[in-house]
Each structure stands twice: as C-alpha cells, then as structure tokens.
Amino acid sequence: MIEGTLAIVLNTLTIIIITFVIANVAVSIVASLMTQSFLTIQVQSRKVALWLLITMPWLTSIGVALFFLNGYLSSKAFEAETEFAHWHHMAVFSWSTWHGATLIIALVFSCFILGKKFVQLKQHHHNLKSLTHFAKPLTDNVFEIDMPKASAFTAGFIHKKCYVTSGMLKEMTEAEVEVVLAHEKAHAKNNDPLKKWLFSLFAAFFIPSLATRLKLHMTLAMEQAADNAVVNDKLTPTFVAITLVRVARLNALYSPIKSNELVASFGADVLDQRIYFLLGQLTLKPVNKWMTLILVIFILAASMSSIDGLHHFVEIVFSH
C-alpha cells in the first residue's frame, strides 16, 4: 500500500486515464455524428475544430485531474461522497487493485503507441535522407528526383523540402509545374508535415476507423488550404483545378485503379471536394461557436460526472 505524495500522484494519473477513456468515448460519439457536417465548415475553422476534437480527451483528462487535485488539496470541495465528482482515497494507492492494473495497461499502451510512432519517424527520416542523396537541387529547398512517375510532395519538420519528380517536370507545362510547386511551398509554409504527424499521433489513441476518418478530414483541409494559397491573378482557380485532374490522370497511368475499396472512395471524395472548393461550388460556413462551446461543456461534464459512477461500477466486478 502506498501512502502520501506518491499515492496522490498515482491516483491523479489514474483519474487522468479514466477521464481520458470517458472523454475519448464522448468525443468519438460526437465526431461520428458530425463527420459529414465537417465538409460544410470553412477550411480554417474545420482545422481548428479537428484539432479541438483530437486533443479534447487530453485536455479534458488533465483539466478534470487538476480539478480533483485542487478539490483534495484545498479540502473544501468534494469532501462528501455524495458530491457531484469525487475520488474516495486520494492519499492511498495500491498496485494490486484495478487502479494499479489500469495504470499499468495505460502505460504499456501509451509506450507502444509512442514507440511505434517514433520508430516510423526515424525510418521516415532515414528514407528521406537517402532520397535527398539521389535528388538534384533545383532552387531553394526544391529538389528534383530522377523518376518517370509524376509525383510531388513536401517533407521535413524543421528543414522543409519540396520534391518533384523528373516525370512530372517532363509531362507538365511550365504553368502547371508552377501550380504544383506553389502548392508544395504552401504546405511547407503551413508546417503541414509536422502538423500531420502530430495529428496522427493524437489520432492513434482513437478507434482506428474514427482515427482514419478524422485524418482524412484533416488531409482534405490541408490540401484545400494549399490549393487556395496557389490561386492568384495569373493562376486562376479553374487552372489549378485542371492541373489537379491532370496530375490524377498521370498518377492513374502508373497505379492500378482501385474502385471497390474503402480507400478508393476516400480518394475520390477528396479530389471531388478539392475541385468543388476551387470552383466555388461548396457553401462553407464558419463553425458554430455556441454549438462548439456546448459540446465542450457536455464532454467535460460527462467526463467529470462519470468518474464516480464508473469507479463504483468497476468495483461491482473487481475488488478494490
């Protein structure tokens, strides 16, 4: 049995984990219900809403834990067991209870997710470094890769670099290449590679199907923002749109067309949405701030009030 400060720390961590699970379920329900309405939100607002959703379990769990801790330390709020939210034994912790098991499982799971993500990051860094060795610098932070397949992408967290294949440079006109490079530079300016990785890190704590959907919405928002950044007096939205279709055609030459898989319909939706966006055929509205506030309060209240209920419910099955 652990008592004192260490017990308070371990109990606080347990509260964080339990709140995280409850908030995660609540966010998952909200996100599943809202998934189609994301497409009607303005790009910038959509990005903010997605970041809020994906970080909500973390913010809620830390907020609730601090609230409980403050309640315990100040010894004013939540002393009685009948209160709205409380924790019975803040200064006592035992590893041989379900609290201990919860803490260990959460720790192992978090280490697994973080380890996997950092291994991926390391591999990506090595591959990118190797690819850069085979690339030829064109201009500042723009590299040409000798490859017949048309492709262009931006990578790197701190030193962001844009890559374009010789196949793309050969197959496309000067103006089309200008569109592609301006699009890639917009990704670099927006720090999209880093943001994508961070988003996928937070998404890894959600159920995979929902995580995929949220990442798809974030990808679409980033692509639309980069498409929009390209448009100017010379490069019209219709020209950017036709360039996008042209690149899709070039890619289709080298990749077998998939039509029945889930990924295929995702891809199709994304291209459609990008073209409709460029042609001004989408009626996009700013996010409803009041509705967002109500949802945040709902998730916070649901998480806070469920702690005690869940605590008692689990103890029907397991010994304390």
Partner 1 sequence: MQIGELEKLVLQYLWKHDCADVKAVFTHFEKIRGGSLNTYQSTLDRLYKKELLSRHKVGNAFQYYPKVERQDLIGQLIQSVTSDFISDEENSLIAAFSSMSKDCNEEQLNRLEALIEVQREKLSQGK
Window 53 to 112, contacts with partner 1 (CB under 8 A) = none
> Toward partner 1, which CB reaches closer, 269 or 315?
269
* Beta strands, E only, the chain: 2-3, 92-93, 135-139, 142-145, 152-155, 161-165
- Residues 162 and 154 sit within 8 Å (Cβ to Cβ): yes
Contacts to partner 1 from residues 126-155, by CB under 8 A: 126-131, 133-134, 145-155
Of 17-56, which residues contact partner 1 (CB under 8 A)? Answer: none
Binding pattern for the stretch 196-215 against partner 1, x by CB under 8 A and - elsewhere: xx-xx---x---x--xx--x
Among 10, 85, 222, 287, binds partner 1 (CB under 8 A): 222
- Which CB sits closer to partner 1, 155 or 307? 155
Residue 276 CB, nearest approach to partner 1 (Å): 8
Task: Please identify, using beta-carbon distances, which residue of 178 and 302 lies nearer to partner 1.
Answer: 178
At a CB cut-off of 8 Å and minimum separation 6, what does 237 contact? 231, 278, 279, 280
Answer yes or no: are the C-beta atoms of 16 and 99 closer than 8 Å.
no
Altogether, the residues listed in the chain come to a count of 320
Residue 145, φ and ψ in degrees, nearest 5: -105, 130
Residue for token digits 């950092």? 118
Distance CA 242, CA 234 (A): 14
Per CB under 8 A, 189 contacts partner 1: no
Q: Which of residues 228-287 bind partner 1 (CB under 8 A)?
A: 236, 238, 241-242, 244-245, 247-249, 251-252, 254-255, 257-259, 263-264, 266-268, 270-272, 275, 279
- Decide whether 61 or 154 has the Cβ nearer to partner 1: 154
Closer CB to partner 1, 98 or 143, in the complex: 143
| Smallest separation (angstroms) from partner 1 to the CB of 233 | 14
Residue 277's CB: how many other CB atoms inside 10 A?
A: 21
- Residue choice 74, 123, 173, 305 for contact with partner 1 (CB under 8 A): 123
Among candidates 210, 245, 234, which has minimal Cα distance to 50? 210
Q: For residue 187, which amino acid is it? A: H
Minimum CB distance to partner 1, residue 69 (Å): 34
In the complex, minimum distance from the CB of residue 127 to partner 1, in angstroms, rounded to a whole number: 5
Q: How far apart are the first and last CA of the chain?
A: 12
Under rule CB under 8 A, which residues in 166-185 are in contact with partner 1? 180, 183-184
Shortest Å distance, C-beta 159 to partner 1:
13
Can you say whether residue 181 is alpha, beta or left, with left for phi > 0 and alpha for psi between -120 and 50 degrees? Answer: alpha
Q: Which two tokens stand for residue 161?
A: 């670099």
